[in-house]
Amino acid sequence: MTPLLRTSGLMVRYGPVEAVRGIDFEIGEGEIVAFLGANGAGKSSTLNALVGLVPVHSGTVEFLGRDITHDPAETLAPAGLTLVPEGRRVFNTLSVAENLRMGAYGIREKAAVAEAWDRVYDLFPILAERRGQFAGTLSGGQQQMLAIGRAMMSGPKLLLLDEPSLGLAPLIVEQVFELLVRLRGAGVTLGVVEQNVARSLQIADRGYVLSGGRIVGQGSAAELATSEALSGAYLDG
């Protein structure tokens, strides 16, 4: 297993508050890795630090063998690393097609953009139907599809997802998880932060359990499903 992404001693601070207190983890090529833990455990801060949305206080992040710790956010999507942010955050005032166009911002060749568009529309036929519609008028589930589709436009090697099932109807949640499995089948490596622990352990290969900004448990999905670290992490908050 080649690690696609590796952190060592990753630390994130917001002023005096330590959100992530020095964590080491790896995401291997072709894996689905779940990050689990209660609210405030530091999961979102970790993902945001990986993509440069919040500064890394100390420690290092390596992607494809290169140190990207302090790379600005805008350089990472073109390098193959992107994030589907928590709460979807589609551009409400842009059309579906424009949202997707922004996802492929780093791609210059018109033909390559058209190809990415086709790929995403194949993945999400509903987006093709609604391409001219403002993203703000889509349902929550469709917005999540758009947020994932937008991230897929850049052709990422590693796709990070922050709470992709949050606030969605159960049926849609199921579709999202099925989609993640399909994306992995298409060769994308996934790092997923999820509240839906049971369902994410069903699709994940491995997982890390975070609590209070530290990793308190790790292992294969099967091991974690029965582990005490996991139940402890949620009980302790």
Which residues are at the interface with other proteins (CB under 8 A)? 51-53, 72-78, 82-83, 85, 89, 91-94, 98-99, 101-103, 105-106, 136, 150, 154
Structure tokens at 26: 């790896």
CA dihedral of residues 118, 121, 125, 127 (deg, nearest 10): -140
Q: How far is the CB of 62 from other proteins (least distance, A)?
A: 20
CA 195 – CA 21 distance, rounded (Å): 21
* Minimum distance from residue 1 beta carbon to other proteins (Å): 27
Of the two residues 58 and 75, which places its CB atom closer to other proteins in the complex?
75
Is 51 or 229 the residue whose CB approaches other proteins more closely? 51
Contact assessment for residue 106 and residue 154, using Cβ atoms and an 8 Å cutoff: yes
CB of 47 vs other proteins, minimal distance in Å: 11
Q: Minimum CB separation from other proteins for residue 74, in Å?
A: 5
- Residue (48 or 200) nearer to other proteins, CB: 48
Q: Which amino acid, 224? A: L
Judged by beta carbon, residue 132 or residue 185, the one nearer other proteins is: 132
For other proteins, the closer CB: 103 or 207: 103
Q: Compute the chain's Rg from CA coordinates.
A: 17
Beta bridge pairs of residue 218? 208
Closest distance to other proteins from the beta carbon of 94 (Å): 6
Least distance from other proteins to the Cβ atom of residue 56, Å: 16
Minimum CB–partner distance for residue 155 and other proteins (Å): 12
CA distance linking residue 211 with residue 43, whole number of Å: 9
Q: Which residues contact 118 (CB under 8 A, 6 or more apart)?
A: none
Does an H or E element contain 3, and which? strand 3-14
The residue among 58 and 93 lying less far from other proteins, judged by its C-beta, is 93
Measured from the CB atom, the residue of 64 and 225 that comes closer to other proteins is 64
Tokens of 139: 């349902």
Bridge-based pairing of strands 214-220 and 58-63 is unpaired
> CA separation (Å) from 198 to 28, 49, 102?
22, 26, 34
